[in-house]
Amino acid sequence: MVSEAPRAYRSELRAQQALETRRRIIEASARLFATNGYQATTIAAIAREAGVSSETVKSASSKAELLISAFEVTFSGSEGADSLTDTEVAAGVLDVPDAGFLDAVLTQIAAANARGHALWTVLLGAALSDPVVDAALQGMLARRAADNIAFVTELVRRGLAAHTQDVAGTAAVLSFLLSPEAYQQLVAQSGWSPERYRAWLRAAVAAELGR
C-alpha cells in the first residue's frame, strides 16, 4: 500500500509557499501604497517589489483588495477579522488584570496607529473613487464603532470608567481619540514625539472615562 505521507507533505509545502508569497505581496503593497499612494501604485510595481510576476499578484487579489489587506495586516496583524479582539494586536489583552488593562490597550492602539496611519490616509483617499475600497472602509468603521462600544462596556464592568447611560456617546469620543487620524495629525503633521502622543492619549481617554 502506497503511503499518503509524501503527498500530504507536498500539499502542506505548497500551502506554506502560497502563504509566504501572499505575505510578500501584502508587505510590498503596504510599502508602495504608503510611499506612493493608491493611484500611483501599479500591480507591476507591486510585483517587482515582492519579487513575483504580475500574474501572481493578480491571482492573489485586486489592487483594491491589496490596499485593504495591506492596511489590516499593518495595523492589526490580521486580515478580515470581525473584531480587533480577534487580531494579533489585541492578543491576550482581555487577560490583563484591571490595574494594567487600560494602559495595555492604549499601548497596543498607539503602536498600531504608528504602523498604520499612513495606509489609513491612503485608504480614506482611495475610498472616494473606488467602490470596493469604500465598501471595505464602511465595514471597518462599523467594526471600529462596535469595538469601542465593547471597550467602554468592558471598562465599566472592570470599574475603570464611570457608569454611563450613553455608552455609544462615550464610545464615539474614544473612537476619535484612538483613531489613526488623531495620530496622523498630532505626530506626522504636528511633529509630536511618540512619547508625547501616548501621554496625551492616556490623559484624554482617562478624562473622558471619568466624565
Please tell me whether the overall predicted TM-score, pTM, comes out greater than 0.85 for this model. Answer: yes
Residue range 46-90, pLDDT digits in tens: 999 999 999 999 998 999 999 999 999 999 999 999 999 899 888
pLDDT of res. 4: 66
- Quick one: what percent of the chain has pLDDT higher than 70? 97
pLDDT of res. 9: 65
pLDDT at 100 over 80: yes
pLDDT at 11 over 80: no
pLDDT of res. 108: 95
DSSP letters spanning the chain: ---SHHHHHHHHHHHHHHHHHHHHHHHHHHHHHHHH-STT--HHHHHHHHTS-HHHHHHH--HHHHHHHHHHHHHHS-SS-SSGGGSGGGTTGGGS-HHHHHHHHHHHHHHHHHHHHHHHHHHHHHHTT-HHHHHHHHHHHHHHHHHHHHHHHHHHHTT-S---S-HHHHHHHHHHHTSHHHHIIIIIIT---HHHHHHHHHHHHHHHHT-
What is the domain class of 1-60 according to CATH? mainly alpha
Mean pLDDT of the chain: 93
Which residue did the predictor score with more confidence, 169 or 1?
Answer: 169
pLDDT of res. 174: 96
Which long-range contacts does 59-62 make (Cβ < 8 Å, 24+ apart)?
A: 60/21, 60/22, 60/25, 61/25, 62/132
Residue range 154-190, pLDDT digits in tens: 999 999 998 777 999 999 999 999 999 999 999 999 9
For cell 490580521, the residue is 78
**pLDDT tier, 3 (very low <50, low <70, confident <90, very high otherwise):** low
Residue range 116-129, pLDDT digits in tens: 999 999 999 999 99
Domain ranges of the chain: 1-60, 72-209
